[in-house]
Amino acid sequence: MYLTSYAALTGLKLGLVEPGWTFFFQIANTLILFLILKKLLFKPVTEFMQKRQETIAGSLEEARKKNLDAQALSAQYQEKLAQAREEGQGIVKAMEQEAEMTALQIKKEAQAEARKIKDDALKEIEREKVKAIQALKDEVAEMVVLAASQVVEKDFSADEHRAFIEKFIGEVGDTKWQN
């Protein structure tokens, strides 16, 4: 009722907004409330949001750097792995070459040993041959001495016969025995 009487006195129409002191007080209260909220609420919230945005940006940058570091470490790992493979292949090749060299050395040593055994056997055969020829010469000399002493009744001593026959066999027999 108060409003209706005020409207009747002032001649204004009643509506949603009536120009008057209450209207100005409401606008002033709204502005004061806005300034207080801006100072106490909007500014700290804005600062908090700004700090949060910087923290998130820093975290993203740190994550990007760590990702780059991880990629660099992965590349180093791959390079070291490739080097290790190459070294392993080099070691295998070196071991194969060493094994081949050892096999060749063993083969050469075996061939040298076989030649030595063969040469030793040939020398032994030659010594036995010389012994056999000497023994044969001695037997022939004894037989000739016996035969000569029976054929010739001359009085040669056995030593003289033996020396004579050995001299004869030595001069003539060497060429025949060696052929």
Cβ atoms 168, 141 nearer than 8 A:
no
pLDDT for the residue 128: 92
pLDDT for the residue 149: 63
**Residue at 12 is within a domain:** no
**Residue at 36 is within a domain:** yes
**Residue at 9 is within a domain:** no
Q: Pseudo-torsion of CA 142, 144, 150, 154, nearest 10°? A: -100
Cβ atoms 161, 149 nearer than 8 A:
yes
**Residue at 1 is within a domain:** no
**Residue at 10 is within a domain:** no
pLDDT > 90: percent of the chain: 49
| Residue 1 clears pLDDT 50, i.e. is over it | no
Which residue has better confidence, 175 or 35?
A: 35
Comparing 54-58, 75-79, 143-147, 158-162, the range with the smallest average pLDDT is 143-147
**Residue at 90 is within a domain:** yes
| Counted domains in the chain | 1
Cβ atoms 169, 137 nearer than 8 A:
yes
- The type of residue at 157 is S
Cβ atoms 141, 169 nearer than 8 A:
yes
152: left (phi over 0), alpha (psi -120 to 50) or beta: beta
- Parent domain of 150: 20-178
Q: Which of 149, 153, 173, 179 is nearest to 161 (CA)?
A: 149
DSSP state of 154: S
| Residue 153 clears pLDDT 60, i.e. is over it | no
CA 110 to mean position of chain CA atoms: 33
| Residue 17 clears pLDDT 90, i.e. is over it | no
- CA dist 137 and 165 (Å) reads 10
**Residue at 14 is within a domain:** no
Q: What does each C-alpha distance from 44 to 18, 19, 47, 80 come to in angstroms?
A: 36, 36, 5, 53
pLDDT for the residue 166: 76
**Residue at 44 is within a domain:** yes
pLDDT for the residue 9: 53
